[in-house]
Amino acid sequence: MRQLTALRKVSIDMSRFLEGLRDIPSPQRLEIKRCKCSSLPEWVGDMTSLKELELIGCRELRSLPSTFPRLTNLCRLRINDCPHLEERCKRETGEDWQLIARIPEIELPEEQASTYSGELMISLCFLICP
């Protein structure tokens, strides 16, 4: 996995390959679907080249790792069909809000109707995360 130096987007389905992500040198986009784990590993915070993270259908995922603020290049976080995590990441009131508040584009199911148009948000992300 460490030899995949040009790999920029990684998409995994289910959690059996989650540990293998640790060795990917510099992914910029990560999509995790239907992960059965209750938490993401702490080493996720070491993926500092990550610009986009999507968590979809991870119904058992209960919280973000404490290392999450280390993802300083992260400009887009999308959480969908992850009920426990959606609750913890609610704007201003969720227990994990302080871990994600600085991310320019955050998509949660209840907030999707009130977000800016995708075109504007993509432009904003490219300005902040070249």
Q: What is the pLDDT of residues 23-51, one digit of tens each?
A: 666 778 888 888 888 888 898 898 898 89
In the structure, how many helices (H) and strands (E) does the chain have? 3, 5
CA–CA separation, 13 and 27 (whole Å): 16
Of 12-16, 79-83, 104-108, 126-130, the range with the lowest mean pLDDT is 126-130
Query: First and final CA of the chain: distance in angstroms?
Result: 25
CA–CA separation, 14 and 115 (whole Å): 29
pLDDT tier for residue 125 given thresholds of 50, 70 and 90: very low
pTM of the model: 0.73
CA–CA separation, 97 and 18 (whole Å): 24
pLDDT at residue number 31: 85
77 φ/ψ angles, rounded to the nearest 5 degrees: -130, 125
Span 52-106, pLDDT tens digits? 999 999 999 999 999 999 999 999 999 999 999 999 999 999 999 999 999 999 9
Partners of 55 in the β-ladder: 32, 79
DSSP annotation of 99: H
